[in-house]
Structure 1
Amino acid sequence: MTAVIIILLAAAIILFVLSFTQKGENKHFEEELEEVASQLMHENYELKKRVTVLEKAMNIDKTVLKEDDDTSSAPSPTPKMKELLKKQVITLYTTGIATEEIIEQSSLSKEEVEKIIEEYLEH
C-alpha cells in the first residue's frame, strides 16, 4: 500500500512539474492567436473602409447616370412602383425637403416630381 502511495505521489510531482512547462507553450499559442485575431480585425477594418469608398463612388455614378437618363432607355416602372414613388415624393415634400433633393433621391425626372407635387397641392 505504501508503494502505491509513493508511486502516486511521484506521478503527481512529475505532472505538477510538467504543468509549468506546458504553460509556456500555451502562452506561445495564445500570442499567435492574438496576432492572427489582430490581423483579421485590421483587414476587416480596411475592407469596410474600401466598401464605404466604393459606396460613395457608386452614389456619384448614380447621380451622373440620372443626369444622362434622357439618352438611356430605362424600363418603365409598374403602376405599383409609380404609386410608391408618388407617395415617397409627397412624403419628402411634406417634410420640407427641397425639390432638387427629392429628384436626387427618387428615380423620377424633374418634370415628373413637379407634376406630382402640383397634383398633391391641388387636392
Structure 2
Amino acid sequence: MSALIILLLILSIILFIVSFFQKDQSSNVKKELDDLSMNLYQETYQMNKRIKVLEEELLVDDQLMKKELSKSDKPIVNEILRNQVIALFKQGLSVEQISKQSALAQAEVKNVIANFLNQ
C-alpha cells in the first residue's frame, strides 16, 4: 500500500513538472484575438476615412450643382413635365389649371405651350 502511495506521489510530481514545459494554448488564442480586433479597428478606421472623403465629394458636387442652378435664371422643365403640360393643354384645360397640376409657374406653362404651338 505504501508503495502505491509513493508511486502516485512520484507520478504527480512528474506530471506537475511536465505541465510547466507545455505551451499555453490560451496565450495563442489571446494573441489571435488581439490581432483580429486590431485588424477590425484598422478596417473600421479606413472605412470611416473613405466615407468622409465621399461625403466631402458629394457636398462639393451638391454645392456646384446649386451654383449652376442659381446661375441659370430659367428653370429647367424636363421632358415629362413638358409632355404633361401639352397633354393637359390638348384636353382643353386653362393655363391656371395646368399650372396647379404640373407645379410649374404660369409663365413656364405659357412658354411650353408656345413652343409646342410653334413646332
TM bin, normalised by shorter chain, reads 0.3 to 0.5
Q: Which has the larger radius of gyration?
A: 2
TM-score (norm 1): 0.44
TM-score (norm 2): 0.45
